[in-house]
Chain A
């Protein structure tokens, strides 16, 4: 489903150039659950941003479902993001001013096509067990609950790809396990999941682990 070839990404400040991704090539299959591991600063999050079309590579090719996406306009990338990709973040990134249901609704706002009823919001909240908190604000929830809402938001648009950046990083182990289970269920249902993690335990839930170091892929383990 995703094919990266020789992807390079550098950041330039006034004097220093930092190479975050150095000729990375990777293939991810449809419905696959892939974990990316590596020390801090090795380029995991940059790779996730490139995969999620939030950042553009400096060089290389990125094909999504067979189509090259590196040269697309910002508006076209935004549309692809809205229709096919969803994110789950370590810090949840819920909007404080909106309720749980309204936060989930955000992922449906920028889509085209026939209108979806509020049933979809209720259905995904039900799926993550958060229906009873639909009218609450994020600050009124525990970390685990907030991450479940974030997953509900990711699921609402039926994406073909979910990118999770250390989704259990701010959770205790019990809540972390629940989140990993949810992601496993999603992958089992046919959605591709790419997860960045520091936790070997979480990574063990994936089907394949890719190891990164200094912007390169240095190892791969099929589980």
Chain B
């Protein structure tokens, strides 16, 4: 009796067997590997996008006990307003009164002019307390950031900001003019990872400078929120306990009437990216993205499992021989598992290359900043390799189990191994795969319809060629702009027309109704394409009236205030302020409900006051363009802005862009579904084509017999396609109820929504079937056309 062969010789033998099998089945193996690579790349890219949100600020030491103070304004019947700003004096109060806080510091955002060697650039900076670098201990390159900001003229920059401004990073001591004040660069810190932090500016100027506005009182007196306050708790300290102590301290700063609805909360900086108040929709996007990633991965793996199981038929003899030579079923299973792991690792390598190519486009499409940093992040490499091995074991388990459980005696017989029908597991995998595809297509259609609805019908106003300039209605500017030939009309409104309108609790009977209050000149309605449904706007002074005597309301106000109908409401006196304030005004017109806020929320009762916005507060100048010579008109508006003595750069945007921004989440979800439905369709199509090729051989004998007995080509073709289509039709049973339930819930999140059209379901099923028939058809036709003698000789 001889001994066995050595370890390396064994490895070489199995590697050879694997490589030769790949070579012999190159087309189908290429389909399987390419599908896996695309699936892995898609899933990994979505995982990289998700990682940014899940490990937000993860590079900050002790991030798990570092918090940002946020201000929450609770409004009855409405979503609370969440701001990442807090009161200017909060940091000092915390330092003096709450020993559980280890360090606290403030940041305030500003846009400044930086001037050096007669060159001026606009830059976004932070005014920062020196202590901010105690709280956020960012990696330092040169200098000592905290000491740097202790001087009122101190500056700290990230490396790339220093290089952008000075051409190199080694420039400590360089002086630069910040809004007219010379400041000195005293420390350089490492770049902040893009997309992984709420700190998106690279210049920190000393908060001790008088320009910072970090004085001991609120700007303008009263109580306001204007700075970001970061704090790090001592190990073991509870954020809830700190919040409880902080509440009364902050309340003591507020005038009495502001104490009720506002609270200050702490949000962990590593959870900021998913905070529903600060980043609405981020969590849902993450969930949708993760689900889609899991789906894509499943489709790719299901393809691989099906193809490798189908392809394994050509290795039955090999398995029989190995068993006859003493291989146990465990050894055979291990051989095929190892092959699956190697295949997945090859696909992973190809997928990684795909990610390198596609990630910038994906980032642009989804407006994310995901990075594939495997070169600098060995942990990611370990995760990838480990994940690849686990995935390989999962993908290889079923084929390995099937192959190792075959009887060697049967495999070695000349005739004994009858071609098997397709396994129920393979059918189930195809069914689930197509269920996912059908579900994704339905989701894509619904999201697209809702987006179109939100941006057109649900708006109920005409934002075409309507420009909004952020300014409190400067008279000279408006007059000059109105004279431009490319301008049809101008008007003014409060900023609440576009975001966060002021509101009042109005007592109607026993009920307090939260009512939006928007100051608006009557001409604004005309520019927005809104005509009153009752009453008249002409009775209102075109340039506003002093005090509030006459108002315009929307239809919801008529209903909620119990005013009967629109005509009946005209002339009625209604309260316009909270209980205790004797504010009443007469209704002169009722306009249809409209909103430039998101369709996610119901349109609220809204009172439009015929008022001009005070100079000094925020406001909007609405300009309706004629639609011709737009670039020239915009340039003229910018010129008039400067000529009429406005000092800040003009902030203008088309309302159509505002609406686009409003529905950016919908847009991003549409893109996610569109892109990955495409990937799913491609993978499913190649998978079905591969299966058609792999299974055709197995049915050759059956087809030969059928044709010998008189079956025509088209009958055989129909038989083959019917067999291929069956799991795809079953897929609808899974997809329809799941998609209906999920999309119904999703649509319910919108106050104004499209109906869930039932025709989408058979339409998606039809597309899936077309993909199946299209991808399997050619191969099926080839097989069906074979002469029976060829088919019978095959066996």
Q: Which residues does A use to contact B, with CB under 8 Å?
A: 45, 49, 52, 54-55, 74-75, 78-84, 86-87, 89-91, 93-98, 102, 105-116, 118, 120, 153, 156-160
Are A89 and B13 touching (Cβ within 8 A)? no
> B330 in the interface, Cβ–Cβ < 8 Å?
yes
Q: Choose one: B6, B320, B413; the contact of A45 (CB below 8 Å).
A: B413
Closest 10 pairs (CB-CB, A-B): A82-B326, A111-B4, A113-B3, A97-B20, A115-B6, A110-B326, A78-B328, A114-B3, A54-B409, A49-B409
A49 to B412, CA, bound (A): 10
Are B327 and A78 touching (Cβ within 8 A)? yes
> B121 in the interface, Cβ–Cβ < 8 Å?
no
Are B326 and A93 touching (Cβ within 8 A)? no
Known contacts A55-B409, A91-B414, A102-B13; A83 and B1 CB within 8 A of each other: yes
Q: Choose one: B2, B4, B20, B324; the contact of A54 (CB below 8 Å).
A: B324
Additional 10 contacts, C-beta under 8 A, given A45-B413, A156-B2: A54-B323, A74-B329, A81-B325, A93-B324, A93-B412, A97-B17, A98-B16, A108-B4, A109-B327, A110-B331
A115 to B318, CA, bound (A): 23
In the complex, per-residue mask of B387-418: 1 if CB is within 8 Å of any chain A CB, else 0? 00000000000000000000111001110000
> B21 in the interface, Cβ–Cβ < 8 Å?
yes
Instruction: Report chain A residues within 8 Å CB of B407.
Output: 54-55
A156 to B414, CA, bound (A): 24
Taking CB atoms and an 8 Å cut-off, the chain B residues in 18-37 that contact chain A are 20-21, 23-24
Instruction: Report chain A residues within 8 Å CB of B1.
Output: 83-84, 113, 157-160
A84 to B413, CA, bound (A): 21
Taking CB atoms and an 8 Å cut-off, the chain B residues in 289-340 that contact chain A are 317-318, 320-331
Are A115 and B4 touching (Cβ within 8 A)? yes
Are A78 and B9 touching (Cβ within 8 A)? no
A94 to B329, CA, bound (A): 19
Known contacts A79-B326, A108-B4, A115-B5; A95 and B321 CB within 8 A of each other: yes
Known contacts A75-B328, A93-B317, A97-B21; A116 and B408 CB within 8 A of each other: no
CB distance from A222 to the nearest CB of B (A): 29
Are B412 and A89 touching (Cβ within 8 A)? yes
Closest to B3 in A: A113
Interface centre among A79, A108, A157 (most CB of B within 10 A): A108
Instruction: Report chain A residues within 8 Å CB of B3.
Output: 108, 111-116
Are B325 and A109 touching (Cβ within 8 A)? yes
Known contacts A93-B320, A93-B321, A157-B1; A111 and B16 CB within 8 A of each other: no
A202 to B1, CA, bound (A): 27
Are A108 and B413 touching (Cβ within 8 A)? no
A110 to B9, CA, bound (A): 12
Instruction: Report chain B residues within 8 Å CB of A120.
Output: 2
Closest to B319 in A: A95
Are B412 and A87 touching (Cβ within 8 A)? yes
A81 to B5, CA, bound (A): 16
Are A157 and B318 touching (Cβ within 8 A)? no
Please report the number of residue pairs spanning A and B whose Cβ atoms sit closer than 8 angstroms. Answer: 123
> B10 in the interface, Cβ–Cβ < 8 Å?
yes
CB distance from A21 to the nearest CB of B (A): 13
Are B326 and A83 touching (Cβ within 8 A)? yes
Q: Choose one: B24, B325, B328, B329; the contact of A97 (CB below 8 Å).
A: B24
Are B324 and A109 touching (Cβ within 8 A)? no
Are A97 and B318 touching (Cβ within 8 A)? yes
Interface centre among A78, A91, A98, A120 (most CB of B within 10 A): A78
CB distance from A128 to the nearest CB of B (A): 16
Q: Choose one: B21, B325, B328, B414; the contact of A106 (CB below 8 Å).
A: B325
Are A109 and B5 touching (Cβ within 8 A)? yes
Known contacts A90-B414, A111-B3, A115-B4; A78 and B16 CB within 8 A of each other: no
Instruction: Report chain B residues within 8 Å CB of A94.
Output: 321
A112 to B2, CA, bound (A): 9
Instruction: Report chain A residues within 8 Å CB of B23.
Output: 97
Instruction: Report chain B residues within 8 Å CB of A86.
Output: 325
Instruction: Report chain B residues within 8 Å CB of A160.
Output: 1
Instruction: Report chain B residues within 8 Å CB of A45.
Output: 413
Q: Choose one: B17, B322, B408; the contact of A110 (CB below 8 Å).
A: B322
Instruction: Report chain B residues within 8 Å CB of A112.
Output: 3-4
Instruction: Report chain B residues within 8 Å CB of A110.
Output: 4, 322, 325-328, 331
Taking CB atoms and an 8 Å cut-off, the chain B residues in 319-375 that contact chain A are 320-331
Some 17 contacts from A to B, beta carbons below 8 A apart, are A52-B324, A54-B408, A78-B323, A78-B331, A82-B326, A84-B1, A87-B324, A93-B321, A95-B17, A97-B21, A98-B16, A98-B17, A109-B322, A111-B5, A114-B3, A116-B4, A118-B9
Are A106 and B412 touching (Cβ within 8 A)? no
A110 to B324, CA, bound (A): 10
Are B2 and A109 touching (Cβ within 8 A)? no
Instruction: Report chain B residues within 8 Å CB of A93.
Output: 317, 320-321, 324, 412
CB distance from A43 to the nearest CB of B (A): 13
A54 to B1, CA, bound (A): 20
Instruction: Report chain B residues within 8 Å CB of A91.
Output: 414
CB distance from A105 to the nearest CB of B (A): 6
Instruction: Report chain A residues within 8 Å CB of B13.
Output: 102, 105-106, 109
A178 to B95, CA, bound (A): 100
Instruction: Report chain B residues within 8 Å CB of A49.
Output: 409
Are A81 and B2 touching (Cβ within 8 A)? no
Instruction: Report chain A residues within 8 Å CB of B408.
Output: 54
Instruction: Report chain B residues within 8 Å CB of A113.
Output: 1-4
Are A111 and B2 touching (Cβ within 8 A)? yes
A98 to B21, CA, bound (A): 9
Instruction: Report chain A residues within 8 Å CB of B16.
Output: 98, 102
Closest to A79 in B: B326
Are B5 and A108 touching (Cβ within 8 A)? yes
Instruction: Report chain A residues within 8 Å CB of B414.
Output: 90-91
A93 to B327, CA, bound (A): 16
Q: Choose one: A74, A102, A116; the contact of B2 (CB below 8 Å).
A: A116
Are B2 and A158 touching (Cβ within 8 A)? yes
Instruction: Report chain B residues within 8 Å CB of A52.
Output: 324
Are A82 and B2 touching (Cβ within 8 A)? no
CB distance from B333 to the nearest CB of A (A): 12
A97 to B317, CA, bound (A): 11
A76 to B331, CA, bound (A): 13
A95 to B327, CA, bound (A): 15
CB distance from B526 to the nearest CB of A (A): 80
CB distance from B117 to the nearest CB of A (A): 72
Are B17 and A81 touching (Cβ within 8 A)? no
A160 to B23, CA, bound (A): 37
A55 to B324, CA, bound (A): 11
Are B5 and A78 touching (Cβ within 8 A)? no
Closest to B325 in A: A107
CB distance from B316 to the nearest CB of A (A): 10
Are A109 and B412 touching (Cβ within 8 A)? no
Known contacts A97-B318, A110-B327; A105 and B409 CB within 8 A of each other: no
A80 to B317, CA, bound (A): 21
Q: Choose one: B318, B326, B331, B409; the contact of A95 (CB below 8 Å).
A: B318
Known contacts A97-B24, A109-B13; A81 and B4 CB within 8 A of each other: no
Q: Choose one: B6, B9, B20, B324; the contact of A81 (CB below 8 Å).
A: B324
CB distance from B152 to the nearest CB of A (A): 78
Instruction: Report chain A residues within 8 Å CB of B323.
Output: 54, 78, 81
Closest to A105 in B: B13
Q: Choose one: B4, B24, B409; the contact of A109 (CB below 8 Å).
A: B4
A220 to B340, CA, bound (A): 51
Instruction: Report chain B residues within 8 Å CB of A116.
Output: 2-5
A83 to B318, CA, bound (A): 19
A63 to B323, CA, bound (A): 21
CB distance from B531 to the nearest CB of A (A): 79
CB distance from B401 to the nearest CB of A (A): 15
Instruction: Report chain A residues within 8 Å CB of B4.
Output: 108-113, 115-116
Are B318 and A81 touching (Cβ within 8 A)? no
Instruction: Report chain A residues within 8 Å CB of B330.
Output: 75
Instruction: Report chain A residues within 8 Å CB of B413.
Output: 45
CB distance from A183 to the nearest CB of B (A): 17
